[in-house]
Amino acid sequence: MEYQNILFEKKDNGVAIVTFNRPKALNALNRATLEELADVVENIKKSDDVRVLILTGAGEKAFVAGADIKEFQSMSPLAAKRFSELGQRIFFELEELPIPVIACVNGFALGGGCELAMSCDFIYASDNARFGQPEINLGIIPGFGGTQRLSRLVGRARALELCLTGDMIDAQAALEIGLVNQVIPQQQLMEATLEVANLLASKSRAALRSIKQVIHKGLGVDLRHGCAMEVDAFAVAFSSDDAKEGVAAFIEKRQPKFSGSLDN
Ligand code: COA
C-alpha cells in the first residue's frame, strides 16, 4: 500500500518511525490515515525486522489532534459505529504488537490522538504537548477507547474530569497524573526517544515480548492469575538462547549479544 497520510521509516537496527503527516489538519485521523496505520501494523506483525516502533506527528504543533471532525458531518449512527469499531480494532492491534511501541507526542494529542498515544506502551511528551478528550465539546463521546484506557491509566476521577470537562492539560500535568512517562524539550524529543528505542532494540526480543504480554494481560486478571502467568513466562524465558547468552555474558563480564530471534 502507498501511504499518503503517514511516513514510514525503518532504521538498520530495527527501530521504525511512523509519522502522521497531515500537518495542515494537525495530523487528524481520517479514515484513510487509520487504514494506512492498520496496514503498517499488519506488516510489522507479519515481518520480523521491526524491533521497536515510534509514533509521532509531523510539524511542531501536533501529534494527532483527534479523529477528523470534518468526516463527522455526514456520519450516520451506523457509520459512527463502524468508525469506532475500526479505530478500536486498529488500536488493539497496535497495543498487542509483540514489540515495544513508544508514543513520541510532539504537540496536541487530543481525542483520537490521546487515545492513540494511550494504546502505545508508554508516552514521551514535548514540553508544548497538550492532552485531552474534548469530544464532549462536540456533543459526542470518545470512541477509540478513551473512556476505558484513560480511566485505567490515571484512575476513575481524573478520567471523568478530563472526559466530562473536555479540558486540555499540559505535558507537566499529564506527567503528574501518570499519563506520560517523561517531558522533554521539543527540540530534543525525537533524539531522546530514539535513544531509548535503540536501547530496547539491543535487548532480547523474546524477553521484551514476554514482559509486554505478561504486563498487558496481567492487568486484565487478578493478582494471583497474573503472577501465575508470570511463572509460566519466566519458565519459557529459560528456554531461549538469549537467556543463555545474557547469563553467560554477565558471568564473563562482557556485554551480551542477543540474537533477535523469536524462535528460541
Ligand atoms: N479534525 C479535522 N481538522 C482539524 C482537527 C480535527 N480533529 N483539528 C484541527 N483541525 C484543522 C482545523 O480545522 C484547521 O484547518 P483549517 O485551517 O482548514 O481551518 C487546522 O487543523 C488548524 O487548526 P486550528 O483550529 O486553526 O488551530 P488552533 O491552533 O487554533 O487550535 C486545536 C488547535 C487543536 C485546539 C483545535 O484545532 C481543536 O480544537 N481541534 C479539534 C480537537 C478535537 O476536538 N479533537 C477531538 C476530535 S473527536
Q: Quickly count: other Cβ atoms within 10 Å of residue 261's Cβ.
A: 13
Looking at the fold, whether 229 and 161 belong to one and the same domain comes out as: no
- Catalytic pick from 42, 96, 135, 161? 135
- For residue 65, the CA-to-ligand 1 centroid distance in Å is 6
Tell me the one-letter amino acid at 194. L
Looking at the fold, whether 231 and 105 belong to one and the same domain comes out as: no
Substitution candidate for ligand 1 out of 69, 141, 170 with most atoms within 8 A of CB: 69
Torsion of CA 132, 137, 141, 143, to 10 degrees: -60
Q: Indicate whether residue 36 lines ligand 1 (CB < 6 A).
A: no
Looking at the fold, whether 134 and 227 belong to one and the same domain comes out as: no
Looking at the fold, whether 158 and 225 belong to one and the same domain comes out as: no
Q: Flag whether 223 is in a domain.
A: yes
Buried b / exposed e over 102-133, threshold 16 CB at 10 Å, is: bbbbbbbbbbbbbbbbbbbbebbbbebbbbbb
- CA dist 103 and 109 (Å) reads 10
Q: What is the pLDDT of residue 19?
A: 98
In sequence order, the β-bridge partners of residue 101 are 53
Q: Flag whether 85 is in a domain.
A: yes
Ligand 1 atom, smallest distance to 133 CA: 46
Q: What is the pLDDT of residue 263?
A: 67
Q: What is the pLDDT of residue 204?
A: 96
Q: Flag whether 134 is in a domain.
A: yes
Looking at the fold, whether 60 and 153 belong to one and the same domain comes out as: yes
pLDDT tens for each residue of the chain, 264 residues long: 999 999 999 999 999 999 999 999 999 999 999 999 999 999 999 998 999 999 999 999 999 999 999 999 999 999 999 999 999 999 999 999 999 999 999 999 999 999 999 999 999 999 999 999 999 999 999 999 999 999 999 999 999 999 999 999 999 999 999 999 999 999 999 999 999 999 999 999 999 999 999 999 999 999 999 999 999 999 999 999 999 999 999 999 999 999 877 765
- Catalytic pick from 35, 36, 71, 115? 115
Q: In what order do the strands lie in the sheet containing 130-132?
A: 62-64, 108-110, 130-132, 169-170
Query: Do residues 44 and 53 touch, judged by C-beta distance below 8 A?
Result: yes
Q: Flag whether 21 is in a domain.
A: yes
Q: Flag whether 179 is in a domain.
A: yes
State in Å, rounded, how far the first CA of the chain is from the last one: 32
- For residue 2, the CA-to-ligand 1 centroid distance in Å is 26
Looking at the fold, whether 226 and 195 belong to one and the same domain comes out as: no
**Residue 71 appears among annotated catalytic residues:** no
Q: What is the pLDDT of residue 264?
A: 55
Ligand 1 atom, smallest distance to 61 CA: 29
All three cell numbers of 212, joined, read 509486554
**CATH code of the domain containing 17:** 3.90.226.10
Q: Flag whether 261 is in a domain.
A: no
- For residue 22, the CA-to-ligand 1 centroid distance in Å is 11
**Residue 115 appears among annotated catalytic residues:** yes
Q: In what order do the strands lie in the sheet containing 6-10?
A: 6-10, 15-20, 52-57, 101-105, 122-126, 182-184
Looking at the fold, whether 32 and 99 belong to one and the same domain comes out as: yes
Domain extent at residue 212:
205-251
